[in-house]
Every structure is written in C-alpha cells, then in structure tokens.
Amino acid sequence: MKVLAFNGSPRKEGNTYHGIKIVADELEKEGLETEIIHVGNKTIKGCMACGYCSKQKNEKCAIKDDEVNDWIQRMKESDGIILGSPVHYSAIGGTMKAFLDRTFLVASVNDGMLRHKVGASVVAVRRSGGIPTFDQLNNYINYSEMIIPTSNYWNVIHGTAPGEALKDEEGTQIMRVLGKNMAWIMKVIENSKDKVKEPEREGKIFTNFIR
Ligand SMILES: Cc1cc2nc3c(=O)[nH]c(=O)nc-3n(C[C@H](O)[C@H](O)[C@H](O)COP(=O)(O)O)c2cc1C
C-alpha cells in the first residue's frame, strides 16, 4: 500500500514537511510505502471555474501547464493521502489551496476518484490559525467520501523557523499517533476487502438555495 503526501509549504524542509515526515515514518515502520510531493514551491494557478472537468470527465483539469494532472493520477493510484499545509493568515497556503480546489473538483466529477481512500490533514503553525486550517483541509477529505484516521488531538504542530516543530513535544506525538492510526486503519480496510462489501455509491443530489 502506498501513501502520497503533499507538502503545501513553500519551504522544502520546513515545519509542514517535518510534521508529514513523522507521520510517514510511522507508516513506513508498518510496511507502507510513502512519498512526499512538494507543492508549495510550484507555480499553480487557481481553479478557473470553466467547467471543463465536469464536461469532459477525463480525469483532467483544463490547465495543463503544471503538475496538477499528473498528481491527480498519482493520487488515484495511492491508497492513502496526506494533505499538509502551513498556516498563512489563519488559512491554507495559497499554492496548496489552488492545487486542492482543482484536484478535488476533478476527482469529484469523475465518479469520486478518491472515494474510500484514507486521508489525513497535517498543519504547521507559529501560533494561531491551526484549527481553521485543519478544518479547511478536512473539508476536501470529507467532501470526497474518504476515510479519516484520527490522533489524540487536532493534527497541528507548532514552530516558526524550519525544523523548530521537532521541539514541539506534544505536536510530534500527535503526528506519531496519527501515523500509527493511519497505518492500522489502512490495513483493516485492505484485509477486509473480501469480507465486507463497500456500500454502493449514491449519485450526487445537487441542489441550491434558490430553486
Ligand atoms: C504569509 C505567511 C502567513 C503566516 N500566517 C500565520 C498565521 O496566520 N498564524 C501563525 O501562527 N503563523 C503564521 N505564519 C507562520 C507559519 O505558519 C509558520 O512559520 C509555520 O511553521 C510555517 O510552516 P513551514 O515551515 O512548513 O512553511 C505565516 C507565515 C507566512 C509566510
């Protein structure tokens, strides 16, 4: 089984990376393969709301001059996904947000490509804004019918200078416990595939508030 992690920080080995790495190390100890993709240092345009993905249903975003379409396919091939972001103004970092909006819309309009994969969010912050950012990342995971492993607190690690988060004793434990629980739930799912039938996917009912 493979877990793909996305580091939304512009810093390659900043605190988001270290938070993700602690989770990934636990997954590796349990025999899962992991890979961290650096998103936050790329140039990624935001969703254009052009409707291309929902019309074409070809698992692609209309914007083709960046890595997003490649990463969507990589996510499809993975069993688990980690979304990691630094807190920027109490929210997801801008480049990561652009990536997530496009990726999760493509996944949604293509028969729920990420449905029943295991997904976890990891946040790095200096002081405030960890919880709103954690909520924002989890919105993508929840929307996609993914399965969320938990830890013994919300998945936020604290630090400012790159690597400082490793001194956050409670934060590092949160990531460790998350990694252990993620590995366990992934094995439970994998080992029950023949025994427990997945619920059938319901077609999405899409209403709005004015008609
Ligand atoms: C543009 C920007 C905005 C930030 N906004 C916040 C904030 O709202 N709250 C906070 O506590 N830290 C904020 N920070 C600090 C980062 O969250 C903190 O340094 C974190 O460890 C960065 O993770 P990284 O090393 O993975 O980039 C901000 C940093 C930047 C560059």
Residue 182 falls within a domain, yes or no? yes
pLDDT digits (tens, 9 = 90+) for 135-157: 999 999 999 999 999 999 999 99
71 residue type, one letter: W
Tally helices (H) and strands (E) across the chain.
6, 6
Which residue is associated with the tokens 């936020």? 156
Centroid of ligand 1 to alpha carbon of 41 (angstroms): 15
Residue 203 falls within a domain, yes or no? no
Residue 122's DSSP bridge partners are 84
Residue 89 falls within a domain, yes or no? yes
pLDDT digits (tens, 9 = 90+) for 154-208: 999 999 999 999 999 999 999 999 999 999 999 999 999 999 999 999 998 888 8
Centroid of ligand 1 to alpha carbon of 65 (angstroms): 28
Q: 155: domain CATH number?
A: 3.40.50.360
Best mutation site among 89, 121, 126 for ligand 1, i.e. most ligand atoms within 8 A of its Cβ?
Answer: 126
Q: Tell the residue nearest (CA) to atom 8 of ligand 1.
A: 89
Do residues 136 and 91 touch, judged by C-beta distance below 8 A? yes
Greatest alpha-carbon span in the chain: 53
Residue 211 has pLDDT above 70, yes or no: no
Ligand 1 within 6 A of 90 CB? yes
128 residue type, one letter: S
CA distances from 178 to 105, 148, 150, 172 (A): 26, 10, 6, 10
Residue 147 falls within a domain, yes or no? yes
- State pTM to two decimals: 0.98
Centroid of ligand 1 to alpha carbon of 144 (angstroms): 27
